[in-house]
Structure 1
């Protein structure tokens, strides 16, 4: 009798467990990787492994893309590989309760909340990005250098005018402008070299044509007196 009661109680317990509602996995934690997503989670509830176990399915898709399903997994850690780098992916995790004690009867559970994550770039993508940035900087600098060279050729006169030093004022005039009481004319006379107004002596000899032929040139030069005439005056 007691065995029968135990059996009936056991049967009621089993029927209730088979019809139990399986919720979504809890504590879903996602770590983005290089073209991958590492997913960790915990089971919806605890159950003896001798009666049943959980298997998991991951529903994932690229944002605004087609949904894919990966599984089943018996582990609480799943890695989604072969994903595109620097892309945003959304995912949901679903648990199935499998009764190993009763011919592997499966009871599907509910999906977890939608969560989206962006994958990181791998080494190849990093290298491509570095090359693209370097080429872009080189082209930009080349364009700037070409534009500067064109502007220099076009506005050469204006640039030369801008960078040309202004004419300087003589120091005497600058001092006079600072102090008009100074005798500027006397200062200019002192600075003027006395050799500027020097006169050179020129000897001019004038004789008739016949006498000029008979008299030696040296004698004419000795007998003639010096005549002073300013330099540059036409004889």
Structure 2
């Protein structure tokens, strides 16, 4: 869009700055620079300092394309809503959050800034032209997540910033290595989900990821920055788990066998000492202990009193037999044959 002739004349006059600051002219902003990092596009400069408090200094930012010799104010009407016209801040955000950027990423743009105080102005301070896709610093991929698998690592992430395919797209590269081993490379990947296979199980692998920007200008891809190094241990596969179980079983068996052998060896070597430890010490009988406490008590009587007889006691039994010629008495006729008559029974009859 070409500005009106009057505005073009004023811009042309403003661009022709004198070689030195006159008393009626403000100092020019110093060290203007533009920061292009991922989606950030910020033009900044050092503030203009005045010797006296003459009021707030404002700044005007203008831009132009290589196809035109005219400069245009970076005002909301001509820059997609971005306003850097008569601002008090010492920076101009060309891509505010939630808002479209002021310029297309594939366009070459030149910027300049000057200070203004009422009718007084400074000389223009310009920055070299830039093209976002060509000059941007590409950071590492974001939201990197690594999931260990059985002899593998699965990496997922998101791009550093948004681009519009097929005009531009990202290629990804992964550097990985076993801890203490040589590095390996997996590059030229368009997928944001990468799986590293054929890794050793139960080993620690470290990795870094970077993104490269490719756009349809046909130039060399713009290389990005690597992410921080992160290390992860791979999971065990089925054969490794079986080996672990076998090793644990064999180790347990050998430990128990060794423990049993050590116990048998110590028992045979120190058998006498073990018997001495396990033997019950002799005890003094209660009667002897009482006698030692009171020697006046007869010890033999105490022993006889407390002891029980060890031999069985038998009752005396007498067996009486009667002669066969002895006749039965009338009074004893009905007596049982097994009951003998007492002696002297015939004499009494």
Answer yes or no: same fold by TM over 0.5: yes
- 1:26 is the counterpart of 2:142: yes
Deviation string, structure 1 residues 36-76 (Cα, Å, up to 9, x no partner): 21212111111111311111111101112111111322222
Q: 1:12 — aligned with what? A: 107
CA shift, 1:172, in A, is 2.1
Q: Which residue, out of 136, 151, 157, partners 1:35? A: 151
Alignment match of 2:251 (pick from 109, 130, 136): 136
In 1, Cα distance between equivalents of 2:228 and 2:308: 101
Provide closer, same or farther for how the CA distance between residues 170 and 16 of structure 1 changes in structure 2, counting only shifts above 3 A. Answer: same
User: What RMSD over aligned residues (CA atoms) do the two structures have, in Å?
Assistant: 3.1
Per-residue deviation at 1:13?
Answer: 4.0
Secondary structure of 2:140 counterpart: coil
- Do the aligned partners of residues 97 and 194 (structure 1) sit closer, same or farther apart at CA in structure 2, a change above 3 Å counting? closer
Measured in 1, the distance between the counterparts of 2:223 and 2:177 equals: 21
State how 1:1-235 maps to structure 2 within 5 Å: 8=67, 12-13=107-108, 16-20=131-135, 21-99=137-215, 101-103=216-218, 106-177=221-292, 182-190=297-305, 191=307
> Distance between the aligned counterparts of 2:198 and 2:225, measured in 1?
26
1:107 CA drift (Å): 2.2
- Give the Cα–Cα distance (whole angstroms) in 1 for the partners of residues 309 and 172 of structure 2: 110
Query: TM-score of the superposition, structure 2-length normalised?
Result: 0.48
Shift of 1:104: 7.6
1:77 CA drift (Å): 1.7
Which of 1 and 2 has greater Rg? Answer: 2
In structure 2, distance between residues paired with 1:53 and 1:154: 81
CA separation in 2, counterparts of 1:179 and 1:119?
84
The TM-score with structure 1 as length reference comes to 0.69
Structure 2 gap segments, 5+ residues each: 3-63, 69-103, 110-129, 312-349
Counterpart secondary structure, 1:86: coil
Give CA-to-partner distance per residue, 1:83-123, whole Å, 9 cap, x none.
11221111111111121x33485222222122222222222
* Length, aligned pairs only: 192
Q: Secondary structure at the match of 1:58?
A: strand
Cα distance change on mapping 1:148 and 1:18 into 2, 3 Å? same
Q: Secondary structure at the match of 1:19?
A: helix
Structure 2: distance between partners of 1:24 and 1:112: 5
- Structure 1 gaps of 5+ residues are 196-235
Query: How far has the Cα of 1:179 moved from its partner?
Result: 5.8
Give, in whole Å, the separation in 1 of the partners of 2:292 and 2:201. 76
